[in-house]
Structure 1
Amino acid sequence: MSVDSIQREEEARMIVAAKNGDLMAFNQLLKQFNPLIKGVVSSYYLKMGDRDDLMQEASIGFFKAVRDYDFEAEASFRTFVRLCIDRQLITAIKSATRKKHEMLTNSLSLDMPLATDASEDWTLLDIISAQKAYGSPEEALMEQEGESRLLKKLNERLTAFEKKVVVEYISGKSYQEIAKALSKTEKSIDNALQRIRKKASLP
Structure 2
Amino acid sequence: MGNDYETSKDEELILRIRDGEEKITDYIMEKYKNLVRSKAGSMYILGADREDLIQEGMIGLFKAIRDYDIGRDASFATFADLCVARQMYTAVQAAGRKKHAPLNSYVSLYAGNGSDKTEEEKKLLDSLVSRDEQNPEELLIDRENVERIEKAIESELSSFERQVLDLYLTGMKYTEIARVLGKDDKSTDNALQRCRSKIRKALLTGKD
Give me the TM-score of the superposition, normalised by structure 1. Answer: 0.45
The structure whose RCO (Cα within 8 Å, separation 6+) is larger is: 2
Higher fraction of helix: 1
